[in-house]
Amino acid sequence: MDVTDPDWLTTGWNHVWLPYAQMRTAPLPMPVVRTSGSEIQLADGRILIDGIASWWTACHGYNHPHIRAAVAAQLEAMPHVMFGGLAHEPAYRLAARLAGLLPDGLNRVFFTDSGSVAVEVAMKIAVQARLNRGARNRTKFVAFHGGYHGDTFATMAICDPEEGMHALFAGMLAEQVIAPLPRDAASRAAFDLIVEAHAGILAGIIVEPLVQGAGGMVFNDAATLRHLRATADHYGLTLIFDEIFTGFGRTGTMFAWQQAGVVPDIITLSKALTGGTSPLAATIVADALFDAFLSDNPGHALMHGPTFMANPLGCAAANASLDLFETEPRLAQAAAIEAALRTGLAPCRALPGVVDVRVMGAIGVVQLERIDDPAALRAAFIRQGVWVRPFRDIIYLTPALTIEPGRLSDLCQAVVNVVNSTTAIKTGTAPNS
Ligand SMILES: *Cc1c(COP(=O)(O)O)cnc(C)c1O
């Protein structure tokens, strides 16, 4: 505790439970009082440049006036109303707009309030579509090593086995079919064998197209995704693209499926959907799957409906966010960020302990041999005046697409400085800055 810490922090600290944290040793989080653009203002007056857009959500920067105005107007008219039996304009407009942006034939939008639940709904739809058509045993999914799809039990089961703690929760998690992502001849052969062996019990394949985000920012490509599409077609499986991280310009195109030229049967969206304003998620489904729910049998309906489904504030924010993609040059900004990240992070390649430097769209990754003390690295970034959160073996930047070029080069310089001092300490040479 610090004398400058606000009283709510010291009082509440004994009562909050932090995400992904060992609470015995977790450092006190830094109190934030304001956010604006790419800036996070701390209670003691310091400003941090945000390098990760609050877990990849704030694609237009914080507090964009157009989104703020739309949410304020919606708050005035109707902060919330239930979605069962009642309709409201923000959700109906948003559903039509999302369908317009997504591939032909993906027309049906189911709204939820978090990414994990959007993925669960996708899984439920893929399985129930088969049940409705009389296929009783096709309940399993192929998912991938290094994948991440959420923290709830159904989604943990389709995450990387180690990160998803499949052993710890054995008996509680559904057993799914985890395969290597088919990136080359060897992994493709292994994947093909696994799918063939399980084909009779499979409902679908789920993948993060182009980038496995929380699994370590590992890239994949169009050839991989084409192979998944061909496999899904061959065995009659539903192909789910989890675009919760990749959606809304992050990889350089509005969505990853466009860049890959591969059309899935279901797309899940969340994270940047509201421009980082409030929780909202969507599962967008192909007509052919939706048709399996149209029936005289009441048991064939999709029985799902979160209490705050299609919250009008979230939908208003999402519509305003889509306005900004139409009226402001977000994809050009993503391209400029890509170029700046390539130049700005390149010096890391020469530093000891660096395994890889990779960039795709507005994602820049420096992979180290290992990170022994992530907390120390995070503290080093704070001293550099930036908000960057290394995890596993990577330091990464996913800034707001609106970040000013000067700020972006400050972020890159901070990464170079921190990598330099960290690896210099490890290898016993003096840091040269
Ligand atoms: C973050 C994320 C999720 C989970 O979203 P939550 O809103 O945290 O539940 C699922 N899939 C991917 C690809 C993600 O990046």
**What is the percent of the chain with per-residue pLDDT over 90, rounded to a whole number?**
95
* Torsional sign, CA 131, 135, 137, 141: negative
pLDDT at 428 over 60: no
In 3D, which of 222, 283, 255, 285 has the Cα closest to residue 59?
255
Q: What is the mean pLDDT of residues 61-85?
A: 98
Q: Flag whether pLDDT at 329 surpasses 60.
A: yes
pLDDT at 236: 98
150 Cβ contact partners less than 8 Å away, ≥ 6 residues apart: 114, 115, 116, 117, 119, 120, 156, 159
Contact partners, residue 60, CB within 8 Å, separation at least 6: 67, 275, 276, 321, 324, 328, 330, 400, 401, 402
Mean per-residue pLDDT, 221-244: 98
Residue 425's pLDDT is 57
- pLDDT value of position 422: 84
Please state, in angstroms and rounded to a whole number, the distance separating the CA atoms of residues 341 and 119.
31
The pLDDT of residue 430 is: 45
Protein residue whose Cα sits closest to atom 5 of ligand 1: 115
CA-closest candidate to residue 145, choices 220, 232, 226? 220
pLDDT at position 355 over 70: yes
- How remote is the CA of residue 76 from the centroid of ligand 1, in Å? 30
Closest by CA to 385, choosing from 418, 362, 353, is 418
Rounded to the nearest integer, the mean pLDDT of the chain is 96
In the prediction, which pLDDT does 4 show?
74
Q: Is the pLDDT of residue 141 over 70?
A: yes
| Average pLDDT over every residue of 288-299 | 97
CA separation (Å) from 79 to 76, 82, 86, 276, 314?
7, 11, 14, 17, 9
Token pair recorded at residue 347: 């010096």
Pocket of ligand 1 (CB under 6 A): 114-116, 119, 148-150, 208, 213-214, 242, 244-245, 270-271
Average pLDDT over residues 155-169: 94
271 has binding-site annotation: yes
pTM of the model: 0.96
Which percentage of the chain shows pLDDT scores above 70?
Answer: 97
Q: What is the pLDDT of residues 187-209, one digit of tens each?
A: 999 999 999 999 999 999 999 99
pLDDT single digits (tens) 272-292: 999 999 999 999 999 999 999
Q: Which atom of ligand 1 is nearest to the CA of 114?
A: 7
Is residue 115 a known part of a binding site?
Answer: yes
371-405 pLDDT, tens digit each: 999 889 999 999 999 999 999 999 999 999 999 99
For the chain, give me the number of helices (H) and strands (E)?
14, 16
Candidate of 111, 117, 141, 149 to mutate for ligand 1, largest count of ligand atoms within 8 Å of Cβ? 149
